Structure 1
Amino acid sequence: MLVGAEAPDTGVWHEETVDVDQFLLVLVSGLASGAVYGLMGLGLVIIYRATDVVNFALASLATIGLYAALTLYDRGLPLILAAGAAIVVTAAVGLAARETVIRPLAHGELLSALVMTMAVSLIAESVISTIWGDQPQLFPSLVDGSVSFGDAAIPTQSLLTIGVAAVAMALVAYLFGRTTIGSAMRAVAESADTAQILGLGTQRIARVAWALGLGLGALAAILYAPRAGLLPTVLSAPLFRAFAGIFLGGLTSMYGAVIGGLTVGVLDNLAASYVSAGYRDTFVFSFTIVVLLIRPQGLFGVRAFQRV
């Protein structure tokens, strides 16, 4: 080798850099997906803790809000206002469904309430298909462009999704930890009978919990729709991954729903990128099953003993 001659470029350093950039893209995409699952899971847990109802209709009701938002946007309403309208529409339709078919059920009819939410979901999808049709539609991104990091171009929409979800989750934590209505909701979650003895309006608290949970579901839908498009069943897959997240984190734990959703999102994207896209759900749900076999109450849940 001649003195002063440059060593040949083997490409190893460049390959390692590309691998790191690729991993960063996968990680950010996973966190963005997990933020959506975490928001939906948080909404499901809030409703469940306040009313003992597992709301399978949350995704379909949020989809109604998405279609309403797109209609308003196409008619000239600014996107941010249309997004706000989606949250309001979702909460309003969801509360109407609760008052009509869920509340009349006798106390403790958990299976009947579960079946009712499934029925509401099917009805909502049918209404969407009748009014807006079944053809795929594009939903506009809240922001465009990307942020460069090395050779990686991270979509700004993904970063916005993570940021908005983090702020929403922090506000929910503040609501439950620092406000009167949050304390009342926690009291109802611990014992509805005790809360009623203390003079707390359980039905009013239940309505607030449903509105909040549905609003979080609608926010998750708004953040998810720009990259997935719009179909009557567009939120079916995120809903089941959100359920995987809340079972992984613990059905009664709000923090568990968030951490579980983020975990599912990251694992889902890692499996799709480094194993096979066809096995992403198999990998995620297998991991969830293993955790539940070891710790049935989830990572952050509390073990409860019930007679069955």
Structure 2
Amino acid sequence: MDQLLITIVSGLANGAVYGLVGLGLVIVFRSTDVMNFAMASMATMAAYVALSLNGAGLVLVLALVAGVGFAAVSGLVVREVLIRPLGEGRLFAALVVTMGFSLIVEHFVSTRWSEQPRSFPRVVDGTLQIGSSRLATQDLVVIVVAGVAMAAVAFLFTRTPLGSAMRAVAESADTAKVLGVDAHKVARIAWMLGLALATLGILLYAPKTGLTPVVMAPVLFRAFAGIFLGGLTSMTGAVVGGLIIGVLDNLAASYVSASFRDTFVFSIAVLVLLVRPQGIFGRQIFERV
């Protein structure tokens, strides 16, 4: 029972990271119809910036905040310089651009900081005794910080005029324009927010795995699984799907086989999607033929 609790808490911590990254992807996708495949490499570069600032003497918390800020600004720049000039409806072109930019950023990170793994400082060290189980304090911090960030995003989208504008654009960009919503402003904020959330996720994840130029690859992979499991356009689904993937992944590694953890997790995800193709929280769309 002790090992089960530790496994579940660790899985929730990983799942919270997947949920943050998935939430960032969904926010960008719903607001601009662009699936940003460069998000992983851009978040990784921001994490290296935070690590460099901390190494230069900046307090860790401030370095992490600076990394998130750097990611938000880089998201704005990429949207304005690379995505906006493509025009509306150029979904395939935007997809190719983000994939190409991802390779460029990954090469830059490898050249600037090398491909050697680097340790990333924890926000807190030690363990916390709960009953007869000793839980990693860092995992608990990850769950709390991710939960606060997700709650803040939920408040933004449900309780503020900006959130209402972003939801309007997500439902129908044309209708939003008629209502006077500036779609370009919404897109800028969405890209900034999406990159900030993804970077927060990797900053919470890196202390456990170390930092490499491709550290986000498995995280992005599982975040996408969480998105499809929860529902491609659902922000709630992205979070819940990420948490489910994180817990299943840890349970599979501990009680099935570490070698087949991905096979186990994605087999369950496929079975769920066969029963409910739109995902757990996705809406089924009917088209007249």
- Cα-Cα RMSD: 1.3
Q: Which of 66, 77, 84 is the matching residue for 1:103?
A: 84
Indicate whether 1:239 and 2:220 are aligned. yes
Q: Partner residue of 2:172? A: 191
User: Is the 2:120–2:206 Cα contact (8 Å) retained in structure 1?
Assistant: yes
Q: Which of 161, 176, 181 is the matching residue for 2:157?
A: 176
Indicate the SS of the match to 1:103.
helix
Structure 1 unpaired stretches of 5+: 1-19
Question: What is the rounded CA distance, in whole Å, between the counterparts of 1:159 and 1:116 in structure 2?
Answer: 37
Indicate whether 1:136 and 2:117 are aligned. yes
Q: Which of 175, 183, 187 is the matching residue for 1:202?
A: 183
Indicate the SS of the match to 1:143.
coil
Aligned amino acid, residue 268 of structure 2:
F
User: Is the 2:76–2:189 Cα contact (8 Å) retained in structure 1?
Assistant: no
Q: Partner residue of 1:263? A: 244
Aligned amino acid, residue 65 of structure 1:
A
Question: What is the rounded CA distance, in whole Å, between the counterparts of 1:109 and 1:282 in structure 2?
Answer: 34
The list of structure 1 runs, each at least 4 consecutive aligned residues, that deviate by more than 6 angstroms after superposition, is: none
Q: Which of 211, 214, 221 is the matching residue for 2:192?
A: 211
Question: What is the rounded CA distance, in whole Å, between the counterparts of 1:61 and 1:94 in structure 2?
Answer: 8
Q: Partner residue of 1:280? A: 261
Question: What is the rounded CA distance, in whole Å, between the counterparts of 1:177 and 1:23 in structure 2?
Answer: 36
User: Is the 1:268–1:281 Cα contact (8 Å) retained in structure 2?
Assistant: yes
Question: What is the rounded CA distance, in whole Å, between the counterparts of 1:119 and 1:304 in structure 2?
Answer: 32
Aligned amino acid, residue 126 of structure 2:
G
Structure 1 segment 68-83 matched on structure 2, within 5 A = 68-83=49-64
Q: Partner residue of 1:167? A: 148
Question: What is the rounded CA distance, in whole Å, between the counterparts of 2:288 and 2:18 in structure 1?
Answer: 31
Question: What is the rounded CA distance, in whole Å, between the counterparts of 1:119 and 1:149 in structure 2?
Answer: 47
Q: Deviations over 1:60-107 (max 9, x none)?
A: 111011000010000100000000011011111222122122111131
Of all paired residues, the percent bearing the same amino acid is 61
Structure 2 unpaired stretches of 5+: none
Question: What is the rounded CA distance, in whole Å, between the counterparts of 1:202 and 1:307 in structure 2?
Answer: 28
Q: Which of 59, 73, 86 is the matching residue for 1:92?
A: 73
Q: Deviations over 1:233-264 (max 9, x none)?
A: 00110001000001000011111111000000
Q: Which of 36, 53, 78 is the matching residue for 2:17?
A: 36
Aligned amino acid, residue 5 of structure 2:
L
Q: Partner residue of 1:302? A: 283
Normalised to the residue count of structure 1, the TM-score between the two structures is 0.92
User: Is the 2:15–2:244 Cα contact (8 Å) retained in structure 1?
Assistant: yes
Q: Deviations over 1:159-218 (max 9, x none)?
A: 000001111111111100000000000000011111111111100110001111111001
- What's the offset of the Cα at 1:305? 4.5
User: Is the 1:97–1:120 Cα contact (8 Å) retained in structure 2?
Assistant: no
Question: What is the rounded CA distance, in whole Å, between the counterparts of 1:133 and 1:307 in structure 2?
Answer: 54
Aligned amino acid, residue 95 of structure 1:
L
Q: Deviations over 1:138-165 (max 9, x none)?
A: 1100111110124422110000000011
Q: Deviations over 1:8-37 (max 9, x none)?
A: xxxxxxxxxxxx100000000000000000
Q: Which of 78, 91, 99 is the matching residue for 1:118?
A: 99
Question: What is the rounded CA distance, in whole Å, between the counterparts of 2:48 and 2:288 in structure 1?
Answer: 43
Question: What is the rounded CA distance, in whole Å, between the counterparts of 2:76 and 2:264 in structure 1?
Answer: 36
Question: What is the rounded CA distance, in whole Å, between the counterparts of 1:126 and 1:166 in structure 2?
Answer: 33
Question: What is the rounded CA distance, in whole Å, between the counterparts of 2:229 and 2:160 in structure 1?
Answer: 28
Q: Which of 230, 246, 261 is the matching residue for 2:211?
A: 230
Indicate the SS of the match to 2:85.
coil
Indicate the SS of the match to 1:232.
coil
Indicate the SS of the match to 1:104.
helix
